[in-house]
Each structure stands twice: as C-alpha cells, then as structure tokens.
Amino acid sequence: MYDIFEKLLKERGLKIADVARDTGIPYSTFTDWKSARYTPKSDKRQKIADYFGVSLKYLDTGEEDIYYINPETEEIAAYAFHNEDIRLLLHAAKGNPPENIKLATEMLMRMKQTNNDG
C-alpha cells in the first residue's frame, strides 16, 4: 500500500509534509506506515485517497474499477487525469461554496471569450 502512496506523491510532486498538513493526518502516521510499523485505519486511508482523487481500492491495491456514467464523463475524467492544471482547479474547487464556483466559472468563460475575440 505505501508504495502506491509514494507513487501518488511522486506523480503530483508532493511531499509527505504536504499531505499531512492538508489532511490533518499526523506526519508520524506516514513515517510509521513507511516503516511498516503501522497501517492507517480505513478512515485515514479514505482521507488520503480523497486527497489524491483516487478510490480507497486504488490506494490499497493499485487497481481501479473504472465506471463512468457516460462517455462524456469518461472523457472529462481522462482529461483531468492527464492535465495537472485541471486537477489543480478541481482540487481548488472542492469544498468551495456554489457561489464561488459560479464566480470562478464566469471569470474563466470571460477569459475564454477574450482569447477567442483576439
């Protein structure tokens, strides 16, 4: 399991301290996990999985059951997976109230319109 966590860290250019700070999980949990003295309980592993935007199954096994509601959803997920800037936008959007999301969306649409007009 820890090797999958390390892979996710590397892919996203993060350090353990970043994940500890952002999730509120103590740094020692990660070092104990790395040294195989401790395996985080499912609630902490879920928090880590959510942080990286992967399923608990993926964090635990490296395998993912992929299911999408429709082809458009699959396309959007693939685009976000392969585009770090889009992942950052999605991560920033998490937990923001709808009015902030609407404001950010309007701003991006105006920027797009400006680019198309020029």
**Structural domain of 80:** 71-117
- Which of helix, strand or coil describes residue 61? helix
The verdict on residue 66 lying in a domain is: no
- What pLDDT score does 65 carry? 66
- pLDDT, residue 118, reads 61
Residue 57 shares a structural domain with residue 78: no
Roughly how many angstroms between the first and final C-alpha of the chain, as a whole number?
50
> Are 33 and 55 contained in the same domain?
yes
Here the tokens at position 117 are: 């007009």
- Return the number of other C-beta atoms located less than 10 Å from residue 78's C-beta: 12
pLDDT at residue number 100: 92
pLDDT tens, position by position, 22-77: 999 999 999 999 998 988 998 999 999 888 888 888 898 888 766 677 778 878 88
Question: Is the domain of 38 the same as that of 89?
Answer: no
Give the helix/strand (H/E) hosting 74.
helix 71-82
Total domains, the chain: 2
CATH number, residue 14: 1.10.260
Split at pLDDT 50, 70, 90, the class of 101 is very high
Could you give the CA distance from residue 73 to residue 77 in angstroms, rounded to a whole number? 6
